[in-house]
Each structure stands twice: as structure tokens, then as C-alpha cells.
Structure 1
Amino acid sequence: MLLFFGSCQARTKKRYQDCHLNTEEDTMSHDLIFDGETLQSTYDSTRDGYGSGSIEKSTCERIVVKELKDKTEYVLEVCEIEGAEITVLLVE
């Protein structure tokens, strides 16, 4: 994630993919593509047996780091949905 964040700051094209297991051990994936200007976010929960089971796509203008007391968040901001923020990674 740090390399992807640095590429966004430098306005360099980059792709990042995160696959992880949720608490029920279903595979979830989050793809981020930065084209040098905007971020394309695709969150795939179709393998989630208990959740929405959908693919959610958004276009956002920037990714920021939020340093909180006991964790660090990487958040997409200025997304096509008014006021929406999408947390990409949470480090505790």
C-alpha cells in the first residue's frame, strides 16, 4: 500500500490489489487503479456468503493517510458519491 500511495502522490500510474478473508473466511477483493489523475476503486464481495455479494465501483480524486491515536487509515476521498469516503486499509 505504501508504494501505491507514493505513486498517487507522484501522479504515477499504478495498480494495487488486495485479497483477504473475512471473518467467515470468504474471499474479498479490492482493486485500485490510479491512471495519473483519478482512482478507480472496485470492491468485490460476491463470494461473501453473509454479506451483500456485490461489486461496488467508485471513482475518486485522491487517497489520504489519516493518523489516528492507535491506527492508520488509507482513505479514498472526493468520490463520485457526495461525501463518501472509502477506507482502503486500516493498520492497527
Structure 2
Amino acid sequence: MNGAVGLPDIRSNDLVATERMRLEIGAGSSGSLVLEDTTAARIEDKLKRAIDKIQSITIEAIEQKERQRVRAIVEADARERAEILRIVYHEGGMFLSVHR
């Protein structure tokens, strides 16, 4: 019992039956979706929206990973070209001349 007479002691992490369900889907710091039963709509009616959100988050993560992969390839290629130019034109004693 808590301090009030006749009231049960309920901690903040205790489950209190409310006859309502709640579903929270998060993608890090943003893009979270919360679905819960309301008087106007049941959670079962909102699951299509949740599935669409999960699919959207997944596609976004795959696209971001692909952008990172392509960027890494481009950067590695640029480093390799710079190293080749350094070897050919500095260590090899060759000089590049441009004819106009």
C-alpha cells in the first residue's frame, strides 16, 4: 500500500491493465511511430500503417548503406589515383607537359 489509505502501491514499471494495447516502433532518434487503441480505432485497424512504416524505415536504411558503400568506393579510387600520380610524377622523375 502507498501512503493513501486503501490504494495499492503501484510502481512506475508495473503493468496496469487498461484493456488497451500500444505499439511503438522506432528508428533511432527520429521516425518513431506509436500506435495505440483509442475509442475511435483499435490497434488492429492501424497495423497496416505500422507495416508500411517498417518497410519505409528498412528501405531508407538499405539506401543509406548503399550510399555509404558507393562513397567508400569513390574515395578509395581517388586515393589510389592520387598515389599513382604521386609515384609517376614525383618519384619517377617524369614531368607532365601540356601542349596547346
**Which of the five TM-score ranges fits, normalised by the shorter chain?**
under 0.3
Give the TM-score taking structure 2 as reference length: 0.23
**TM-score, normalised with respect to structure 1:** 0.24
Higher relative contact order (CA 8 A, sep 6+): 1
Higher Rg of the two aligned structures: 2
